[in-house]
Amino acid sequence: MKQALFALIAAAVLAPSLALAQPQEIPPIATPTDVKPASITSEDVEYPYPSKYLPLTLYGQDVRMAYMDVPPSGTPNGHTVMLFHGNNFAGFYFGVIIDALRKEGFRVVVPDQIGYGRSSKPIIPFSFHDLARNSRQLLRSLNIEKAMIVGHSAGGMLSARFSSQYPDAVERLVIYNPIGVQDGRFGGRPSDGFDEQYKRTLATTFQQIRSGIARYVAHNPKAWTPEFEKYVRIRYAWTLSADWPHYAKVQTLIGQMLSQDPVINDWAHIKAPTLVFGGAEDYLAGTTANFQARMKHIADTIPNGNGKLHLIPGLGHVPHLEDAAKTLPPLVAFLKEGAK
């Protein structure tokens, strides 16, 4: 995906010493030889809780949507939180967030969106409208009429679409280190068509996967942990599968959704109290200064003063993997306010 998708023109809103920091690279390693081909439906990926499945029919195809439905471990508070994952992940990376919410009495529902994780990988025209509709159908199948929504990265885009389309189903919203913070369709060269994009996706290497995920800690290479390395290996294992040509088509179609279905006009239609949240040193918007400014813009765009901004200095694109102790308290506190 070309960098123009996330390029922004904005001023810094945090201290210059933070905003002007330069991205850094993690130490390189050789392409590993011990990674085996893995299932593109992630049966061999460890999940924090068991998966269940919702059957759906999409574009005439019978598919299934995987999800975790985790009950509270503390005294139930009667509220549900639904977590929307990012593009390089599925529900499997949300373990620490699930556990923190369970302890506070929340039921936690974590879908793998169609095209991700343990869900089906159909060749269909992906859109955030469809992902939002699937998520709403999942809630209804569980007899949940209202939920609090937390969407990370590409899930932040989906959370905006879900909230704008189903306002009566959203109690509170957290837009968490989103991508797609500006419409990237204009100002650059026209994007390549599907066939050229597919060729590039099909040829994805370990080093390209690692470099892409390494952007999440470009503010601080010391934040790179074995857990990040594990997710690189998971994605690389898919490229070794005999099913990779199929999954590469799916990922190319999803990439087109991310670039061609922007959500910047959805923010003004969100009615729920919203926390625009995450690590301040996120480089996926081109610079940390651009990211910080656009996060402020999102919070200011939520109508009726319902938008609140909370950025954590020193953390990047996936704060809960980088420093859960700093990340979880403000996130949980915002959701608990809605459970009183």
Kindly give, in sequence order, each residue whose CB lies less than 8 Å from that of residue 202, ignoring residues fewer than 6 positions away. Answer: 244, 245, 248
Q: How far apart are CA 302 and CA 49, in angstroms?
A: 34
Q: Are residues 305 and 204 in contact, defined by beta-carbon separation less than 8 angstroms?
A: no
For residue 153, give Cα distances in angstroms to 57, 74, 109, 156, 287.
Answer: 26, 28, 18, 5, 16
For residues 318 and 153, give the distance between their C-alpha atoms in angstroms, rounded to a whole number: 8
Compute the distance between CA of residue 318 and CA of residue 314 in angstroms, rounded to an integer. 12
**C-alpha to C-alpha distance for 183 and 265, rounded to whole angstroms:** 9
pTM over 0.75: yes
The per-residue pLDDT for 21 is: 64
Question: What local confidence, expressed as pLDDT, does residue 15 receive?
Answer: 34
Q: How far apart are CA 133 and CA 139, in angstroms?
A: 10
CB 69 within 8 A of CB 52: yes
Task: Give pLDDT, residue 340.
Answer: 86
Distance in Å from the first CA to the final CA of the chain: 42
- The tokens for 216 are 């999440």
Residues 6 or more apart whose Cβ sits within 8 Å of residue 336: 104
- CATH number for the domain harbouring residue 328: 3.40.50.1820
User: Residue 212 has which token pair?
Assistant: 């892409």
Q: How far is CA 311 from its chain centroid?
A: 17
What local confidence, expressed as pLDDT, does residue 190 receive? 82
- With 0-12 CB in 10 A as exposed, 13-18 as middle and 19+ as buried, what is 249? middle
Residues of the chain with pLDDT under 70: 1-21
Read off the pLDDT of residues 88-147 as tens digits, 9 standing for 90 and up: 999 999 999 999 999 999 999 999 999 999 999 999 999 999 999 999 999 999 999 999
Task: Give residue 193's pLDDT.
Answer: 94
Tell me which residue range forms the domain holding 316.
3-337
Under 8 Å between Cβ of 74 and 107: no
DSSP-assigned letters across all residues of 281-298: T--TTSSHHHHHHHHHHH
- Model pLDDT for residues 9-44, shown as the tens digit of each residue: 233 233 333 344 689 999 999 999 999 999 999 999
Query: What pLDDT shows up at residue 7?
Result: 35
Residue 244 has what pLDDT? Answer: 98
CB of 18 within 8 A of CB of 288? yes
Structurally, the chain folds into a number of domains equal to 1
